[in-house]
Chains A and B, each alone.
Chain A
Amino acid sequence: MILLALAWRNLLFRPWTTLLSLVLAALGAGLISLILLLNWQLEQQFDRNLAGINLVIGAKGSPLQLMMSSMYHISSPTGNVPLDAVKPFLNPEHPYISLGVPLSLGDSYRGRRIVGTRPAFLELYGARLAAGNMWTEVMDVVAGATAARELNLQLGDTFSSSHGLIEDDDLTHRDAPEFRVTGVLAPTGTVADLVLLTPSESLWAVHDAHEAHGDDHAAQPAYRVTGPLTQYSEKAITSVLLRFRGTSVAGLNMQRSINENTEMQAVTPSIQLAELYATMGQGEEVLRQLGYVVVGVSILSIFIGLYASLDRRRGELALLRSLGAGPGKLFGLLLLEGTITAAAGAVLGLLASHFGLFLIARYFSETYRYDFRALVFLPEEGGLLLGSLIVGALAAAVPAWRASRTDVHRTLAG
C-alpha cells in the first residue's frame, strides 16, 4: 500500500513524462479496443439480422447492394423484378422453400423505410404485435418498435410517404392516399424494429395515385391485402427473402439457375457477409497493426521515462534503502510506476474508445437508423487491461532491476 501511494505520487511529481506515456498507452489500447468493439457490433447487427435467410432474389446489379438494401435496409435497391417471375418462390407449397417473404421498397417516412410485404415478414424476424392489429386494408401500417418510438407514431396516426430514403418535402407523395398506423411491434433487436411495414399493395397504390394525377376519371385498382400476393399479375416488387427447408443442394442449384437463366439475381447472404468481413478485415488488420505499433511506442516511452529518471532519483532510492526498504521494494516501486502508467493509459483508452463508439453509434443511428450500444463491454477488453499490466511491468522491469541494485554507500557518500 505504501509503495502504491509512493508510486502514484512519483508519477504525479513528473506530470509531463507521465502524461506522454499515458497518452501513448491510451492511444494504443483505445485503437485496439475501438476496432474490437466496432467489429463486434457490426457482426452482431449483421448476424442478428441474418434471420435464417438463405437466399435473396432481386434485380440484377451489385449482390452486396441487393443484400444490404433488402436485409439491412441500408442503401438503395438494385431495381424491381416482375411479380410473375418470383411467384414460384412465394408459393407456400414449394418443396424446397419454407418461407418466402416479398419486399417492395423505395418509399420512406421521415427517413424510416416503408417496407411493402406480407405478414410472413414478422415470422422471419420473430416479431409480434405489442399494440393494435395487423393490416386489413391498403395503406395500413404496422410500425417497428424503434421507428414508432422515434417518429412518435400512435395507433390511428396518418402520414404521407416520401420517395427514396431522404427526408425531403419535395419528394413527399402529397397526391397519394395517406398511410394509417394500425399496429406497433414489440422490440425484437432486429431490423424489424427500424422499419414501417405495410402490405405491398400500399406502395403500388401510392404510385397508382401518382400516375393518375390530373386524371380525375382514372380508375383506382382495388387491392385485397389479406390474399396472397400471387393473385396479382403485371406488378413488380423489389426482392424476395427465402428460407429453405433444411440445407438443400437444391437451394444452391436454385441460386445458380436464377443467376444463369433469368433477368434476376440470387444472393446467398452468408457468402456476401463473409466477403464483406474479408474486405473489412483488411482495413481492420491495418488499424490493429497500427494499434500494436502505438502500444510498442508506449512501452518504449514508459521504459525511457523510468530509465532516464534513475540517475536523478538515485539519491532517493538509496535513501529508501537506508530507511529499511529492501531491494525488492525498490524493484516493486519502479514496477508499480510502469504498470500504473500502462493500466491508467489502458483505462483511459477504453473510455475513449467507448466515447468514440458512442459518436459512431449516433452517426449510424442518424444515417442508417441502426442502434449500436456504446455501453457494451467485451471480455477482450478485460484481456486488454490485463495485457496493459503485463506490458507496463515489462517496460519497467529493466529500470526496476537497476533501481533494486542501487549502491547505497556510493550514492549517499556523495
Chain B
Amino acid sequence: MLEGRNLKIKRGGSIILDVPSLSVQSGEILSLIGPNGAGKTTLLQALACLIKPSQGELFFKEKIVSSNHVLFQYRRKLTMVFQEPLLFDTTVFENVSSGLKIRGLKRTEIEKRVDENLERFGIPHLVHRSARKISGGEAQRVALARAFAPQPELLFLDEPLASLDPPTRESLIEDLERVLRQTGTTTIFATHDRMEALRLSDRIAVMNRGRILQIGPPPEVMNQPLDEFVASFVGVDTILTGRVSKKDKGSFLASVMGHEVEAVGEVELGETVVFCIRPENVTLSPPFPKRATSARNVFTGKIKKVIPMGLFYKVQLDCGFPLVAYVTSHALEDLELKEGKEIFASFKATSIHMVRKKLSG
C-alpha cells in the first residue's frame, strides 16, 4: 500500500534519516520503536509527506507521490495524531468535524460521523464542551476521534499515548486497539514503549540514529534480535559476549568472563558470539538444590539489587558475569531474596538467543 524507497533526510550536513526501503501492507499495523531521537517522528512525517526528504521516493498504491497535485490527493487519504492533542480552540464537535469540513462533506454526514467517532472513543458526553477545558486523556481521545472521522486509508500515530499517565494510557490503548481492529486501518505507529508496540502491531521496526535496524513480526524481533542494540531495546537485560571454546553437534560451549555457558547453534571454534538472555527465561532457586533441573547452565550468584517492577521484581545478579532475572512477588518471599544473598540461577541453552559477531559486523 505504501512504499518508501531510499528515503534520506539531511539536516545541517548530517543524515538524520536513512531508510533504503520500507513497505507497509494494506490493513497492517507497523510500529516504529526506538529511543528518543531515533528518527521515528522524522520517518513518520516523511511518509506522511509533511516534510520533504532530501532524497528518495514514496509510492502510494504503486503510484509515485511527487507532483503537488498527487501529494495533496495523498494527504487527503491520511490523518495523523501527534503526542500533543493539538486540538483547535473550539468545541469538541468542531474539532472532530474539522477533517470532514476540510473535505467538504455535507452537514448530515458530518454529524453522523462525529457521533460515531465520539461513541467509539467513549466521549459522546463531551460533544459541546470546549476542547480547552477537558483532561489530557479526554483531549487525546478527541484527537483520535478527529483522526478516525475522515475514515483515512492510512493512519499515522506519533507517540499519541506517551504523555498520559499509566491508567489513562491503559484504558485508551484498549479503545485504540479495538477501533484499529474494527476499522482495519493501515497504521504506522511510533512509540518508545515496546509493550504498546507488542500489543498493537503486526510488525515492529526497531530504529536508532535514523536507521531501521530490524523489522519483523513481534515474536521474531523480541526473541531473535539482530544485534545488541535491538536486544537491549526489546527488553533483553542480559547481553554477554563470549568466545566459543568447545563445539558439539548443534550445541557448543562458550567462555564468558571465565565461565562456561552452553548454547545451541552452529558456530566456529574461537568465534566471538553475543548471548541475549531474556530475564523471564532465568530461573532462581535456593542454593544447594537437590531437585533436578533440565537447565544445564546453572550458576551461583550474589544478588546485587532487587527492583520492584509493579507485578514482578527484577533481580540483578553477579554470577561472575551480570545476569538479570524476573521473579514474582510470591517467589521473592518464598526464596527470601534480598541484596547480598547467594542463589542459584539457571537458564536453558535453548532460551539463549545468539548473535554471531562476525555476521552482525
Are A and B co-members of a single complex? no
Residues of A within 8 A of B (CB): none
